[in-house]
Amino acid sequence: MSIIRKLNENRIIKQYTLIVIGCFIAAASYPLFLEPNFIAPGGLTGITTILNYHFNLPIGLTSLILNIPLMLAGWRLIGAGFIFRTILATLLFSFLIDLLHLPALSDDPLLASIFGGIMLGVGLALIFRGNATTGGTDLMARIVHHYQRAITIGVFLFAFDTLVILLTWIFLSASHALYAMICVFVIAKVLDQVLTGFGNDKACYIISKQYAQIEKRLMTEMERGVTRFDAVGAYSGEPIKMLLCIVGQFEAPKLKTIVNDEDPTAFMFITDTHETLGEGFAKLIEEEQ
């Protein structure tokens, strides 16, 4: 436990650990699912998958060769720390794709698209959490955005993935292109979920004339912080108080009971939070740029 605690507290070690683990998971998705079924998961590796289909070129090595000019260009535009981690991630990811000789788990393209996308998405998310990328279109998007501010990173990535899917349709088949679309969608959803967090905490907003009693009980009985806002009812024009309290998933019923006890006519709505950081929840860590 002490080793894990020290690892979590040392930001640099944690970053490189996430990068290494992420590269293994992301790279393993290729021999297990993507490469045997020729699923092009967008980006540069999508291009190399097409080349692998026609010319039997190794996906990892070809991807690394295509990344070299991007990394040279990115070195001058992006911080040295970030680009060094990106070079490490790119080298490790590219080599592992070709070096990991794992048996394919499925010859069903649909299953390969879904589960390959999940594995690749999780791996890339861990690499991103380590404050690095695997080069490719992400680095290319940053470079393009640097010179053409009107082209956002998100728009460039979407356009490039669309191009890869179109090329997959032309040089492989319409079915391969449709499976590629599924894979790209799954990767995006998994990336978003892992990066924003899996938290099930609840943000509770309460509007009540008995706000003083409610906030007192929330702080004393549930030991949760409460934030009070001054608001105005649009219809009545009268000043009102609104409370915000973040609680755990299983604490929400108790909070609703407290509010109902103090003011059955109170107005309240509860939303999910992806990630809750700060006192009483996960530790807030400022990431290195």
DSSP the chain: -HHHHHHHH-HHHHHHHHHHHHHHHHHHHIIIIIHHHT---SHHHHHHHHHHHHH---HHHHHHHHHHHHHHHHHHHS-HHHHHHHHHHHHHHHHHHHH-----S---HHHHHHHHHHHHHHHHHHHHHTT---SHHHHHHHHHHHH-TTS-HHHHHHHHHHHHHHHHHHHT-HHHHHHHHHHHHHHHHHHHHHHH-----EEEEEE-TTHHHHHHHHHHHS----EEEEEE-TTT--EEEEEEEEE-GGGHHHHHHHHHHH-TT-EEEEEE-S--BSTTSB---PPP-
Residues 174 and 221 in one domain: no
**Nearest one of 67, 75, 110 to 92, comparing CA atoms:** 67
Average pLDDT over residues 56-74: 88
- Per-residue model confidence as pLDDT tens digits over 107-128: 999 999 999 999 999 999 999 8
Residues 255 and 144 in one domain: no
Number of structural domains (the chain) is: 2
- Per-residue model confidence as pLDDT tens digits over 87-102: 899 999 999 999 999 9
Average pLDDT over residues 189-218: 88
Domain annotation covers residue 267: yes
Domain annotation covers residue 158: yes
Residues 108 and 181 in one domain: yes
Q: In what order do the strands lie in the sheet with 202-207?
A: 227-232, 239-247, 202-207, 267-272
Q: Which residue has the higher pLDDT, 146 or 220?
A: 220
Residues 237 and 191 in one domain: no
Domain annotation covers residue 147: yes
Domain annotation covers residue 227: yes
Domain boundary among 152, 168, 196: 196
CB of 275 within 8 A of CB of 282?
A: yes
* Global pTM value: 0.77
Domain that holds residue 35: 2-196
pLDDT band with cut points at 50, 70 and 90 for residue 3: low
Residue 158 has pLDDT above 50, yes or no: yes
Domain boundary among 148, 163, 196: 196
pLDDT band with cut points at 50, 70 and 90 for residue 172: very high
Residues 56 and 163 in one domain: yes
Domain annotation covers residue 168: yes
Q: Determine the pLDDT at residue 286.
A: 46
Domain annotation covers residue 226: yes
- Lowest mean pLDDT: which of 38-47, 183-192, 217-226, 267-276? 267-276
Residues 141 and 217 in one domain: no
- Per-residue model confidence as pLDDT tens digits over 14-44: 899 999 999 999 999 999 999 999 999 989 9
- Amino acid identity, position 68: I
Query: Residue 266: which CATH number?
Result: 3.30.70.120
Domain annotation covers residue 280: no
Residues 172 and 225 in one domain: no
Question: Quick one: what percent of the chain has pLDDT higher than 90?
Answer: 61
Domain boundary among 162, 196, 230: 196
Domain annotation covers residue 287: no
Residues 128 and 12 in one domain: yes
- Lowest mean pLDDT: which of 44-48, 149-153, 192-196, 285-289? 285-289
Residues 52 and 139 in one domain: yes
Residues 116 and 185 in one domain: yes
Q: Which residue has the higher pLDDT, 80 or 186?
A: 186
